[in-house]
Amino acid sequence: MKRLVISMLGSLAVATTLLAAQDPQRPTDPQAQPQAGAAKDVTLTGCVTQGSSPTAFILSNAKMNARDTNEKGKDFQLVAATEDLSLKTHLNHEVTVTGSADTKAAPMPPAAGQKPDLPKLTAKSITQVADTCTTAPVR
């Protein structure tokens, strides 16, 4: 009888340890990086262009360092974080945008004639750099 009780307690301790190790809410590494696809704050410079509708905007040829000729520009779907941030007033202007960028990778290349799904940039602030777009569009 003692052996049975001891083996049951040992099994319970092992099972509890295994379940605790599988708990997804318990951080195993406090220095762990955010998961892929999580939004992070960035500052990008690019050109605000019209999207597919009057309320849709794109930040074209966006770069972290606008003066770096080796950096390849990217396009982002530009969304205002607050209603008082007017993107339409910056249409066809070169701007610097600070906000959270969606870093997800496109799952599949687009079919012929279709535009790829653009990652989203939620603008928290926007500053005009130039009255016209001086950056070449991404091709």
Percent of residues in the chain assigned helix, strand, coil, to nearest 5: 15, 30, 50
Average pLDDT over residues 116-129: 90
User: What is the distance between the alpha carbons of residues 135 and 58, in angstroms, rounded to a whole number?
Assistant: 14
Split at pLDDT 50, 70, 90, the class of 67 is confident
Of 102, 56, 62, 63, nearest in space to 79 by CA: 56
What is the per-residue pLDDT for 15?
61
Q: Is the pLDDT of residue 83 over 50?
A: yes
Residue of 138 and 31 predicted with greater confidence: 138
Phi, psi (degrees; rounded to nearest 5) at 10: -65, -45
Sequence-distant (≥ 6) Cβ neighbours of residue 39 within 8 angstroms: 100, 101, 102, 103, 122
- Whole-model pTM: value is 0.62
User: What is the distance between the alpha carbons of residues 87 and 56, in angstroms, rounded to a whole number?
Assistant: 9
Residue of 128 and 111 predicted with greater confidence: 128
Residue of 34 and 56 predicted with greater confidence: 56
Identity (one letter) of the amino acid at 41? D
Paired tokens of 46: 């690019």
| Residues 101/121, Cβ–Cβ less than 8 Å | yes
Residue of 112 and 80 predicted with greater confidence: 80
Superfamily grouping for domain 40-106+118-130: Nucleic acid-binding proteins (2.40.50.140)
Average pLDDT over residues 84-110: 81
Indicate the burial class of 59 (C-beta count within 10 angstroms; 0-12, 13-18, 19 or more).
buried
